[in-house]
Chains A and B, each alone.
Chain A
Amino acid sequence: MNETILTEIKNSDEQKLVPLLNYCQSKLGYIPKEAFETISEKINIPLSQAYSVATFFTDFFLKPIGKHKIEICNGTSCYVRGSEKIFDHLSRKLNIAEDETTEDRLFTLKKVRCIGCCSLSPAMRIDDEVYGRVSSEKAEKIIEKIRQKEEKKNTIQ
């Protein structure tokens, strides 16, 4: 998988750093060391520059993340409506802190400011799905459902 993506990056017309990093992350979920090397070589910039740009942003992961990315929106509207409580609750339930991944590698928990769903705050996003007007319990149930689905998949396999 990694090799294919690296070749794609090499052959792409794109010459700008951030779009290449974004592409890599969209395919792999994170940016491995080899991708940094490929990109910096391709667009002829020092490896340190690629690394400093990637670490400047909050969205780039340098380590593999869980199968599902849970993003608790912590924008102003969500915060005013209690998003911290929801984050704390999930953090306790999943037994992970911010930006950490569960042991079974199913979930990564992240705070995000913001997903623009302020009118239905507090909101959260899991992968591409946005959930509005969540509560601690509602959020927990959604995650539980995903976990059950994954477990079902595993038993079938």
Chain B
Amino acid sequence: MELKKRSEVISRLTEPEELITLRNKLKEKEIYENHIRVCCGTPCRSSGSLNLLNKFREEIKQQGLNEKIEIKQTGCVGFCQGGPVVVVDLPEQKNIYYQHVSIENVPTIISSVRNKEIIDDLLYVDPETQERIVSLDDIPFFAKQKRIVLRFHGKIDPTDITDYIKLGGYKALPKALLEMSPEEIINEVKDSNLRGRGGAGFPTGIKWEFTRKAEGKKKYIICNFDEGDPGAFMNRSEMEGNPHQPIEGMIIGAYAIGASKGYIYTRSEYPLAYNTLQNAIDQAKSLGLLGKNILGSNFNFNIEPFKSAGAFVCGEETALIQVIEGKPGEPRPRPPFPANKGLWGKPTNINNVGTWANIPLIIQNGSSWFSNIGTNRSGGTKVFSLAGETKNTGDVEVPFGTTLREVIFDIGGGVVEGKFKAVQTGGPSGGVIPEQYIDTPIDYESLEGLGSIMGSGGMIVMSDHTCMIDTAHYFLEFAHTESCGKCVPCREGIQEMLSILDDIRKGKKRDLNLLNELAEYVKETSLCALGQTAPNPVLTTLKYFKDEYIEHMEEKKCRAGICKNLISFHITDACECCGQCAEVCPQECIEEGEEKYNINQEKCIKCGLCQERCPYDAIEVI
């Protein structure tokens, strides 16, 4: 990584007509009939997509097909467990979806493109109908989504600004800068019913208006890309897949608010997204879409990416501001709100990546188009990160009002193994929602009514293999580590709750009323949202799964088989005496018996390696 990086200079656009001319030229230059797109988002990279991409390039060059087939890297296509994913366009058939593609498949795919054929073996098979599905758009995971924020995901090369422009990106920008006044833009955003995608759901237009009206010449905007929820990846995916959409939204927002400088606050855990973003900013600058007199509008605006270094609390807007200012990320009391006194004491407007990414859509298509999607109270769609124990995992974009069941079962395909138990939304600030509420339409208010929150979009599906006390402990431990320690309720209260949960995990009796009382107290009296929401996982598990708490304490039993002090590993009669368990056991505590192997319980450390290894499923947890 270099401190400052400059990309190649593309000719600067000085007025809207030049942008239109560029788009038309790019479309005219489009010579390819066939396209191969390799998903190169973080998950597909972990499955080897970069090697695939190189192999495709090599083969295409070798076979002299450079002018026949376009090979392109894209950001997250969104259906991660099929990775590495390759999407092919033929003249007659678009979006052919190939999954689990290996290096060996590359020549076959290339010849299939030449012969205009489809390779059945690489297609997605619907687990219910056993039918092979050709087009990505027909796979239930995608078919039931409404992808507007993710409209170009998997279609464009995120490292090339011209790809975004070619498909219609940066169309909203000239409209906003040259045809609309700042007030008109703010009204449009207000009318759209867009609410903050970071989790709190504050109406975006109203937030903008506060900063617009705040006194002061110098104003800032910030894009919150801290994505601290340890189970959410939609912002990463949004940035890796199409960084220009939030950037376009930021330029429009800055103009409406009257800001001349913007920051994108990113996290160090996402190196690929950071590089993609940095590159996108450089390209936007060299095209004149950032900088002075943008598209001849007399409006000046610049964006600087800011990389943080791993702290959950920095997703809180005042903490985030402190860090940019060079101080520890401790939240400060509000008021004054950042809209009046934010970064370096100046009026500052902060929105989440997802919020900014919606702005070009609203300006381009109008507020009523946007508000017609979703519910009366929340316009548009929400992108969720669907993960945990669900069959299908990845980015899911659905209109507000879609039910949890539709997301988890219709799109997610239900749980991998066992029975659905709960869904966790909102990360460490959210709660678990049990099966009886699975038909709840997703909305800020409805999830809050269940004791959880919308949050930034993390959605972790849990099966009966998940222990609810352990889950509450996990989130609380997270909050405990991440608490900045500034206010007493959060610092001490969470510590105390954690020790109670730890005891319960071990089967010790503790007063559940005290736990509940502590949780309520921390919720009411903490300084910032971290402490105010940290008790939610405890409160919801206590509310919906109290029987599990009692079972741990009274019966010394963990029904999910997770809490180490309450479980033991046993070898069943299904044992075939292959001895692999003994081979892998770090304690050397598995010995061959007469008909099966046996575990010496006194020496067993419950690491689970034997169970992982056993080919006969003969090791059970009691």
A contact set with B: CB distance below 8 Å:
8, 12-14, 16-19, 21-23, 26, 43, 45, 49, 52-53, 56-60, 74-77, 79-82, 85, 88-89, 92, 112-121, 123, 128-132, 135-137
Contacts and interface: CB of A to CB of B under 8 A. Distances in A.
A52 B323 CA distance: 11
Residue from the set A53, A75, A81, A114 with the largest chain B CB neighbour count within 10 Å: A114
Contact of B269 (A13, A60, A114, A121): A114
Interface of B: 1, 3-4, 42-43, 45-47, 80-81, 83, 227, 229-233, 236-237, 268-271, 273, 306-312, 323-324, 326-330, 385-389, 393-394, 424, 427, 458, 460, 462, 466, 471, 474-475, 478, 484, 584, 586, 607-609, 612-613
B607 A89 contact: yes
Given A19-B3, A115-B269, A119-B81, A137 B613 contact: yes
Contacts of A52: 328
A62 to B, nearest CB: 12
Contacts of B4: 13
Interface centre among A57, A77, A112, A135 (most CB of B within 10 A): A77
A118 B232 contact: yes
Contacts of A8: 3
Contact of B387 (A45, A56, A121): A121
Nearest to B467: A80
A136 B72 CA distance: 35
Given A17-B326, A77-B388, A120-B46, A22 B230 contact: no
A76 B458 contact: yes
CB-CB nearest 6 A-B residue pairs: A76-B231, A119-B80, A17-B326, A113-B230, A119-B393, A75-B230
A21 B471 CA distance: 34
Contact of B586 (A56, A92, A112): A92
Given A18-B307, A137-B612, A56 B607 contact: no
Given A76-B387, A81-B388, 10 more contacts: A8-B3, A19-B307, A22-B307, A56-B330, A57-B329, A76-B229, A76-B424, A77-B388, A131-B46, A136-B608
Given A18-B306, A76-B388, A136-B607, A116 B326 contact: no
A42 to B, nearest CB: 12
Contacts of B329: 56-57
Given A77-B388, A118-B387, A137-B613, A53 B46 contact: no
Contacts of B227: 116
Nearest to B465: A80
Contacts of A76: 229-231, 387-388, 424, 427, 458, 460, 474-475
B231 A58 contact: no
A44 to B, nearest CB: 10
A89 B231 CA distance: 22
A130 B46 contact: yes
A116 B233 contact: yes
B45 A130 contact: yes
A58 B327 CA distance: 15
Given A58-B311, A120-B43, A136-B609, A16 B326 contact: yes
B309 A60 contact: yes
B391 to A, nearest CB: 12
A52 B311 CA distance: 14
A56 B327 CA distance: 9
Contact of B3 (A14, A77, A116, A117): A14
28 contacts: A13-B4, A16-B324, A18-B323, A19-B307, A22-B307, A43-B326, A45-B326, A49-B326, A53-B328, A57-B309, A58-B311, A76-B424, A76-B427, A77-B388, A80-B466, A85-B608, A89-B586, A112-B269, A114-B230, A114-B231, A114-B233, A118-B388, A118-B458, A119-B387, A120-B393, A130-B42, A132-B46, A136-B609
Contact of A18 (B309, B386, B609): B309
B50 to A, nearest CB: 10
Quick one: which of A16, A79, A129 has the most chain B CB within 10 A?
A: A79
A12 B2 CA distance: 11
Nearest to A134: B46
Given A12-B3, A58-B311, A80 B306 contact: no
Given A80-B466, A119-B393, A136-B612, A128 B271 contact: yes
B219 to A, nearest CB: 19
A120 B231 contact: no
Contacts of B427: 76
Contacts of B83: 120, 132
A130 B230 CA distance: 16
Contacts of B471: 80
Contacts of B389: 80-81
A58 B481 CA distance: 10
Nearest to A113: B230
Nearest to B386: A119
A119 B3 contact: no
A116 B474 contact: no
Contacts of B270: 115-116
Contacts of A23: 1, 3
Contacts of B385: 118-119
Given A116-B233, A117-B43, A58 B310 contact: yes
Contacts of B268: 22, 59
A59 B268 CA distance: 8
Nearest to A60: B309
Nearest to B613: A137
A30 to B, nearest CB: 12
Contacts of B387: 76-77, 118-119, 121
Given A21-B309, A123-B46, A137 B609 contact: yes
Contacts of A81: 388-389
Contacts of B273: 116
A95 to B, nearest CB: 12
A108 to B, nearest CB: 15
A17 B325 CA distance: 8
Nearest to A22: B307
A74 B230 contact: yes
